[in-house]
Copies of this chain bind each other. A is one copy, B any other.
Amino acid sequence: MSGPADTPPAAGTVDEAEAARHRAKMEKRKAVQDREVAEKTMEKGLLIVHTGPGKGKSTAAFGLALRMLGRGGRVGVVQFIKGAWQTGEQEAFRAFGDRVSWHTMGEGFTWETQDLVRDKAAAARAFAKACDLMADESIDLLVLDELNIALRYDYLDLAEVVAVLQARRPGLHVVVTGRNAKPELLAAADLVTEMGLVKHHFSAGVKAQAGIEF
């Protein structure tokens, strides 16, 4: 015969001591969290950079665009490198009508065109379009997709690009994507995320699929 004190808790249940420990730990965590939130008071348009060899750089930028649309904002997109990619997002953004201003300006992946003069001219046109959108006060968030690639191949003048981004309207959020972001751009950024490649299905022979890669 055993009293209630000897009965082990059934699987999936929680004993009181465990619950109390959890509560104490989470109260401490909440205090830290609340203090951290209280310390942050500034609002500003952010310069955000998504870089690194992993997936999700452009995808997260378009996810941010989606969030801004959900908040009633307007979004601009300039694609510096045109490819077979992002056609899914472009199609989906049609649901938001003229709240998305989408511009595919690049000339395809540079290894497709193999024409440096044409690539430089296309990058210059794309950056001019980016400048137009930065001046458009109805735009809340601007995605400069694969701008890092154009900078990496010196299609654009790095110092000029960074200066223009730094001189943007105070409220404008800008997201720059692409591998190998330049240190000068990272120095100017407010938020930098490095997407790291831990494991990729291409290595297992899986091909690019609609709705996932494009």
A binding-site residues for B, Cβ under 8 Å: 12-14, 18-19, 22-23, 26-27, 29-30, 33, 36-37, 39-44, 46, 50, 52, 54-56, 58-64, 66-71, 73, 86-93, 95-96, 109-117, 120, 124, 140-141, 173, 186, 189-202, 204-212, 214
Contact = CB atoms under 8 A, between A and B. Distances in A.
A59 B43 CA distance: 20
A19 B117 contact: yes
A194 B42 CA distance: 28
Given A41-B205, A63-B56, A69-B92, A193 B189 contact: no
Nearest to A90: B70
A161 to B, nearest CB: 14
B70 A26 contact: no
A172 to B, nearest CB: 11
Contacts of A140: 211
Max chain B C-beta neighbours (<10 A), residue from A116, A204, A211: A211
Contact of A54 (B63, B68, B194): B194
A115 B16 CA distance: 11
Nearest to A56: B60
Nearest to A29: B111
Contact of A92 (B33, B67, B195, B201): B67
B110 A26 contact: yes
| Oligomer: number of copies | 2
Contacts of A44: 201, 206
Max chain B C-beta neighbours (<10 A), residue from A14, A67, A194, A206: A67
Nearest to A54: B193
Contact of A70 (B46, B91, B207): B91
A59 B59 CA distance: 8
B70 A120 contact: no
5 contacts: A33-B111, A44-B201, A56-B63, A56-B195, A190-B201
Nearest to A204: B190
Contacts of A50: 56
